[in-house]
Amino acid sequence: MTGPTAFRLRQLASPRRPPPGPGAVRPAAALLLRLGCVALLAWIGYIHLHLWQEGYRHIPTNGPLFLLDAVAGFVLAAILLTWPRPLAGLLAAGYTASTLGALIISLSAGLFGFRESISASFVTESLTIEPITVLALISWTVLMAATLRPPARGPRPVAQPGPSESDSRAVL
């Protein structure tokens, strides 16, 4: 991996430092946005757990996936709450987008032999909450990644000539 790419990947997973100076509003806005994202992820997890308990657990393939989706929502909410890094935001956005995609596929063509109805409980709510969550998570991730600073680039050090032959004899 090249140096700048490896640095960027390390930055996404490392602690970020808020910019000094008059930009003190940005960390407060980022905190509020992150807490909103955590609440939305927990809400999505709750919806999937509730639906699983109400009977979706009896649907052959989708039932276990609903339980997995509920657990993933709660786990990602906890991760985003305790580990506020851009990588956590990207993972949570990917999870939410895939959950939304699965719902849309289930509504239109069916998923694993099960076709969802728009009139089923929590479908319209999910179609509202999940896109908002994806947008909020992407916004928070971009905001956090923007606060990461690249390393200062200075001139490369000039290679020093190695010891001469006369210097090596003096050491012997």
Q: What is the DSSP string of 125-160?
A: HHHHHHHHHHHHHHHHHHHHHHTPPPPPP-PPPPPP
Q: Flag residues of the chain having pLDDT under 70.
A: 1-3, 6-25, 148-172
pLDDT value for 35: 96
pLDDT value for 55: 84
The C-alpha atoms of residue 77 and residue 71 are separated, in whole angstroms, by 10
| Residue carrying the six token digits 């339980």 | 67
> Both tokens of residue 88?
């956590």
pLDDT value for 122: 86
> Both tokens of residue 161?
């000539």
Query: CB atoms < 10 A from the CB of 170, how many?
Result: 8
